[in-house]
Amino acid sequence: MSESGLAHLVVAVLRRDVMASLRRGSEWSNPLVFFVMVCALFPLGIGPQPDRLAELAPGILWVVALLASLLATDSLFRGDFDDATLEQMLLSHQSLYPQVLAKTLAHWLMTGLPLSILSPVLGVLLQLPATGMLALMVSLLLGTTVLSFIGAIGAALTVGLRKGGLLLSLIVLPLYIPVLIFGSSAVKSAVAGGEYFPQLAMLGVFYLVAIALSPLAICGALRISVDQ
């Protein structure tokens, strides 16, 4: 296949998935609503003192963003599996890797990207100091992409199962831990007035490795799920 053909394929899948998700609406808005609601629960749970909230805000925001991304992951291949689009993808003479890459990127565009854009608003709600806002947004932009790609492996493994939801979180959460560590640490460093580029650089490494390697695992997992 020529290079332009490959790019064409990626763009076509990307456009199709983004359009479908936009038209359905709830698919991209539900994780956002979840993000806002759970963030609002924390002050109710631990008390409204601004300094205490400010101290906990980086961790809370990152953990809740991670959970929101996780909950959205279950639907990544579900619809395509149910109406057998996935089977057609596997049967088609186009290679699976770029299609999977495009699907996962489209999923991130509809979940991780809005989460990252919305995060400063929730940072304000949780009294996150202004110095941490940029680090929060950038770390979430990079980090949620990695989360989407790791989550896609789990989604591909569990898509053929009837009760996938909880299982997906069990198998994916341990793999999320490095991203959480570096993401929240970047925000904490920024709040403390320190250097946070090293953490972002590490997230950048995860980003590149996840984009390059995880589609291989996703392709393998999808073949297993469709074959069974």
Which positions touch another protein (CB under 8 A)?
Answer: 153, 157-158, 160-161, 163-164, 167, 170-175, 177-178, 181-182, 185, 202, 206, 213-214, 217, 220-221, 224-225, 227-228
Q: Which is nearer to another protein, 44 or 166 (CB)?
A: 166
CB of 175 to another protein, least distance (A): 5
Q: Is the CB of 21 or the CB of 214 nearer to another protein? A: 214
How many other β-carbons are positioned within 10 Å of the β-carbon of residue 196? 23
Residue with Cβ nearer another protein (144 or 225): 225
CA–CA distance, 222 with 80 (Å, rounded to integer)? 11
- Supply the minimum distance, in Å, between the C-beta of residue 83 and another protein: 21
CA–CA dist 76, 62 (Å, integer): 21
Q: How does 35-68 read in b/e, with b if 16+ C-beta sit within 10 Å?
A: beebbeebbeeeeeeeeebbebbbbbbbbbbbbb
Closest separation in Å from C-beta 173 to another protein: 7
Tell me the closest approach of the beta carbon of residue 201 to another protein, in angstroms. Answer: 13
Q: How far is the CB of 89 from another protein (least distance, A)?
A: 18
Of 37 and 171, the one with the shorter C-beta distance to another protein is 171
Nearer to another protein, 18 or 173 (CB): 173
Q: Which of 95, 103, 99 is nearest to 79 (CA)?
A: 103
| Contact between 53 and 43 (Cβ < 8 Å) | yes
Q: Is 75 helix (H, G, I), strand (E, B) or coil?
A: coil
